[in-house]
Amino acid sequence: MRSSLLSALCLLISAASAQVIATGALKRTMWDGQRSGLIAMDSLSEPGFYGMGPLEHMRGEITLVDGRSHVARVMGDSLIVQVDPTAKAPFFVHGRAAGWEEIPLPPRVESAQQLDAYLAVMSANEPFFFRLIGRFEEVDIHVWDLPTDSTFTGPMEGARYKRHFSMKGMEGEIIGVFSRHHRTVFTHHDSFIHLHFLSSDGRVMGHVDALKFEAGELVLVIAKP
Protein backbone atom coordinates (compact mmCIF):
# COMPACT_ATOMS: atom_id res chain seq x y z
CA MET A 1 0.00 0.00 0.00
CA ARG A 2 2.68 2.46 0.99
CA SER A 3 4.76 1.71 -2.13
CA SER A 4 1.78 2.39 -4.41
CA LEU A 5 1.06 5.66 -2.60
CA LEU A 6 4.69 6.67 -2.86
CA SER A 7 4.75 5.90 -6.58
CA ALA A 8 1.61 7.95 -7.17
CA LEU A 9 2.98 10.89 -5.22
CA CYS A 10 6.36 10.75 -6.92
CA LEU A 11 4.77 10.80 -10.38
CA LEU A 12 2.55 13.76 -9.50
CA ILE A 13 5.21 15.72 -7.69
CA SER A 14 7.98 15.27 -10.24
CA ALA A 15 5.66 16.57 -12.95
CA ALA A 16 4.40 19.47 -10.84
CA SER A 17 7.69 20.70 -9.39
CA ALA A 18 8.20 23.42 -11.99
CA GLN A 19 4.86 24.91 -10.94
CA VAL A 20 6.11 26.04 -7.49
CA ILE A 21 7.59 29.54 -7.76
CA ALA A 22 8.99 31.65 -4.93
CA THR A 23 9.15 35.46 -4.95
CA GLY A 24 11.20 37.14 -2.24
CA ALA A 25 12.07 35.27 0.96
CA LEU A 26 10.72 35.02 4.49
CA LYS A 27 14.18 35.58 5.96
CA ARG A 28 14.66 38.85 4.06
CA THR A 29 11.29 40.11 5.24
CA MET A 30 11.88 39.07 8.85
CA TRP A 31 15.52 40.12 9.24
CA ASP A 32 16.34 42.67 6.53
CA GLY A 33 13.14 44.69 6.52
CA GLN A 34 12.17 43.92 2.91
CA ARG A 35 8.43 44.41 3.39
CA SER A 36 7.31 46.28 0.29
CA GLY A 37 5.33 44.40 -2.34
CA LEU A 38 7.38 42.37 -4.83
CA ILE A 39 4.52 40.59 -6.58
CA ALA A 40 1.00 41.81 -7.38
CA MET A 41 -1.95 39.46 -7.23
CA ASP A 42 -3.44 40.81 -10.44
CA SER A 43 -0.55 39.08 -12.24
CA LEU A 44 -1.86 35.73 -10.91
CA SER A 45 -5.57 36.27 -11.51
CA GLU A 46 -6.17 33.45 -13.99
CA PRO A 47 -7.93 30.22 -12.94
CA GLY A 48 -5.64 27.54 -11.56
CA PHE A 49 -3.26 29.81 -9.64
CA TYR A 50 -2.78 29.10 -5.92
CA GLY A 51 -0.42 30.68 -3.42
CA MET A 52 0.18 32.36 -0.09
CA GLY A 53 2.18 35.00 1.72
CA PRO A 54 1.83 38.11 3.89
CA LEU A 55 0.35 41.38 2.69
CA GLU A 56 2.91 44.09 1.92
CA HIS A 57 4.20 46.03 4.93
CA MET A 58 2.97 43.10 7.07
CA ARG A 59 -0.54 44.49 7.26
CA GLY A 60 -2.37 41.21 6.64
CA GLU A 61 -2.28 37.84 4.89
CA ILE A 62 -2.94 36.78 1.29
CA THR A 63 -4.29 33.42 0.14
CA LEU A 64 -4.65 32.89 -3.61
CA VAL A 65 -7.30 30.32 -4.54
CA ASP A 66 -7.99 29.56 -8.19
CA GLY A 67 -6.83 33.04 -9.20
CA ARG A 68 -8.84 34.91 -6.52
CA SER A 69 -6.75 36.75 -3.93
CA HIS A 70 -8.36 36.57 -0.50
CA VAL A 71 -6.85 39.20 1.81
CA ALA A 72 -7.21 39.12 5.60
CA ARG A 73 -6.75 42.28 7.65
CA VAL A 74 -7.40 43.13 11.29
CA MET A 75 -9.68 46.05 12.09
CA GLY A 76 -10.00 46.67 15.82
CA ASP A 77 -10.57 43.22 17.25
CA SER A 78 -12.19 41.87 14.10
CA LEU A 79 -10.82 39.79 11.25
CA ILE A 80 -11.93 41.12 7.85
CA VAL A 81 -11.48 39.03 4.70
CA GLN A 82 -11.98 40.53 1.24
CA VAL A 83 -11.15 39.59 -2.33
CA ASP A 84 -8.59 42.17 -3.44
CA PRO A 85 -6.79 41.66 -6.79
CA THR A 86 -4.66 44.78 -6.17
CA ALA A 87 -2.90 43.26 -3.14
CA LYS A 88 0.88 42.82 -3.14
CA ALA A 89 3.20 40.61 -1.08
CA PRO A 90 6.82 41.05 0.09
CA PHE A 91 7.36 37.31 -0.25
CA PHE A 92 5.05 34.78 -1.85
CA VAL A 93 4.93 31.23 -3.14
CA HIS A 94 2.58 30.30 -5.94
CA GLY A 95 1.89 27.63 -8.50
CA ARG A 96 -0.59 26.66 -11.18
CA ALA A 97 -2.67 23.50 -10.95
CA ALA A 98 -4.49 21.99 -13.91
CA GLY A 99 -6.34 19.69 -11.52
CA TRP A 100 -6.05 17.82 -8.23
CA GLU A 101 -5.36 14.18 -7.41
CA GLU A 102 -6.76 12.72 -4.19
CA ILE A 103 -4.24 11.01 -1.89
CA PRO A 104 -5.29 8.85 1.08
CA LEU A 105 -4.90 10.48 4.48
CA PRO A 106 -4.21 7.90 7.22
CA PRO A 107 -6.06 8.07 10.57
CA ARG A 108 -2.81 8.68 12.46
CA VAL A 109 -2.47 12.11 10.82
CA GLU A 110 -4.37 14.52 13.09
CA SER A 111 -2.30 17.73 13.22
CA ALA A 112 -0.15 20.06 11.13
CA GLN A 113 3.02 18.48 12.51
CA GLN A 114 1.82 14.98 11.65
CA LEU A 115 0.80 16.15 8.17
CA ASP A 116 4.30 17.59 7.68
CA ALA A 117 5.87 14.28 8.75
CA TYR A 118 3.51 12.21 6.57
CA LEU A 119 4.24 14.24 3.44
CA ALA A 120 7.98 14.11 4.17
CA VAL A 121 7.90 10.30 4.28
CA MET A 122 5.58 9.81 1.32
CA SER A 123 6.91 12.40 -1.11
CA ALA A 124 9.93 12.79 -3.34
CA ASN A 125 12.34 15.73 -3.29
CA GLU A 126 10.33 18.13 -5.44
CA PRO A 127 8.09 20.89 -3.99
CA PHE A 128 4.35 20.72 -4.56
CA PHE A 129 1.04 22.34 -3.64
CA PHE A 130 -1.73 20.49 -1.83
CA ARG A 131 -5.15 21.15 -0.33
CA LEU A 132 -6.85 19.67 2.72
CA ILE A 133 -10.61 20.11 2.47
CA GLY A 134 -13.38 19.40 4.98
CA ARG A 135 -14.22 19.96 8.64
CA PHE A 136 -11.50 20.91 11.13
CA GLU A 137 -11.89 20.34 14.87
CA GLU A 138 -9.58 23.24 15.70
CA VAL A 139 -7.80 25.85 13.61
CA ASP A 140 -5.36 28.39 15.07
CA ILE A 141 -4.27 31.15 12.71
CA HIS A 142 -2.49 34.48 12.81
CA VAL A 143 -2.74 37.61 10.68
CA TRP A 144 0.03 40.21 10.56
CA ASP A 145 -1.01 43.66 11.82
CA LEU A 146 2.12 45.83 11.82
CA PRO A 147 1.31 49.52 12.50
CA THR A 148 2.53 51.95 9.86
CA ASP A 149 4.94 53.63 12.30
CA SER A 150 6.45 50.37 13.64
CA THR A 151 9.20 48.00 12.57
CA PHE A 152 10.98 44.92 13.89
CA THR A 153 14.04 42.73 13.33
CA GLY A 154 13.60 38.98 13.48
CA PRO A 155 10.61 36.73 14.19
CA MET A 156 10.84 36.98 17.98
CA GLU A 157 10.55 40.77 17.89
CA GLY A 158 7.91 40.62 15.20
CA ALA A 159 5.68 38.17 17.08
CA ARG A 160 3.99 41.03 18.96
CA TYR A 161 2.48 42.23 15.67
CA LYS A 162 0.68 38.97 14.91
CA ARG A 163 -3.02 38.85 15.79
CA HIS A 164 -4.19 35.36 16.73
CA PHE A 165 -7.58 33.75 16.13
CA SER A 166 -8.86 30.29 17.09
CA MET A 167 -11.83 28.45 15.61
CA LYS A 168 -13.51 25.14 16.43
CA GLY A 169 -15.61 22.89 14.23
CA MET A 170 -15.06 24.96 11.10
CA GLU A 171 -15.57 23.90 7.49
CA GLY A 172 -12.98 25.08 5.01
CA GLU A 173 -9.71 24.20 3.38
CA ILE A 174 -6.00 24.38 3.86
CA ILE A 175 -3.94 25.66 0.96
CA GLY A 176 -0.46 24.28 1.52
CA VAL A 177 2.93 23.94 -0.08
CA PHE A 178 5.57 21.32 0.73
CA SER A 179 9.28 21.72 0.07
CA ARG A 180 12.49 20.25 1.46
CA HIS A 181 14.52 23.04 -0.14
CA HIS A 182 12.88 26.33 0.86
CA ARG A 183 13.30 26.68 4.61
CA THR A 184 13.39 30.41 5.52
CA VAL A 185 12.31 31.17 1.92
CA PHE A 186 8.63 30.28 2.23
CA THR A 187 8.65 27.74 5.08
CA HIS A 188 9.98 28.19 8.60
CA HIS A 189 13.35 26.75 9.61
CA ASP A 190 11.73 23.79 11.40
CA SER A 191 9.10 22.78 8.85
CA PHE A 192 8.68 21.59 5.27
CA ILE A 193 5.18 23.07 4.91
CA HIS A 194 3.53 26.48 4.75
CA LEU A 195 -0.22 26.47 5.39
CA HIS A 196 -3.04 28.98 5.05
CA PHE A 197 -6.68 28.37 6.01
CA LEU A 198 -9.77 29.69 4.22
CA SER A 199 -13.22 28.96 5.62
CA SER A 200 -15.97 27.70 3.32
CA ASP A 201 -17.89 30.96 3.67
CA GLY A 202 -14.77 33.05 2.93
CA ARG A 203 -15.04 35.00 6.20
CA VAL A 204 -12.04 33.49 8.01
CA MET A 205 -8.52 33.28 6.60
CA GLY A 206 -4.96 33.39 7.84
CA HIS A 207 -1.61 31.71 8.30
CA VAL A 208 -1.99 28.40 10.14
CA ASP A 209 -0.21 28.00 13.48
CA ALA A 210 -1.90 24.77 14.59
CA LEU A 211 -4.54 22.29 13.42
CA LYS A 212 -6.53 19.46 14.92
CA PHE A 213 -8.63 17.21 12.71
CA GLU A 214 -9.85 13.70 12.00
CA ALA A 215 -8.60 12.24 8.73
CA GLY A 216 -12.01 10.76 7.93
CA GLU A 217 -13.55 14.23 7.74
CA LEU A 218 -11.03 15.60 5.24
CA VAL A 219 -9.84 15.07 1.69
CA LEU A 220 -6.16 15.54 0.79
CA VAL A 221 -5.42 16.46 -2.82
CA ILE A 222 -2.14 17.11 -4.65
CA ALA A 223 -1.77 19.57 -7.53
CA LYS A 224 -1.50 18.19 -11.06
CA PRO A 225 0.34 20.18 -13.77
Q: Which pLDDT value is given to residue 10?
A: 59
Domains of the chain by range and CATH? 2-224 (3.30.1330.80)
| Integer-rounded Cα radius of gyration of the chain | 16
Q: Which pLDDT value is given to residue 19?
A: 81
Q: Which pLDDT value is given to residue 186?
A: 62
| Dist. CA 52–CA 72, nearest whole Å | 12
Q: Which pLDDT value is given to residue 177?
A: 93
Backbone angles phi, psi at 2, to 5 degrees: -65, -40
How is 84-125 classified by DSSP, letter by letter? -TT-EESSEEEEE-SEEEEE---TT--BHHHHHHHHHHHS-S
Q: Is 32 exposed, middle or buried (0-12, 13-18, 19+ CB in 10 A)?
A: exposed
Q: Which pLDDT value is given to residue 30?
A: 86
pLDDT tens, position by position, for the chain (225 residues)? 555 555 555 555 555 444 898 999 889 998 999 999 999 999 999 999 999 999 999 999 999 999 999 999 999 999 999 999 999 999 999 999 999 999 899 999 999 999 999 998 877 678 899 999 999 999 999 999 999 999 999 999 999 999 999 999 999 999 999 987 756 666 766 778 899 999 999 999 999 999 999 999 999 999 987
CA angle (112, 115, 120) in 5-degree steps: 130
Compute CA distances 224 → 11, 18, 86, 213, whole Å: 10, 11, 27, 25
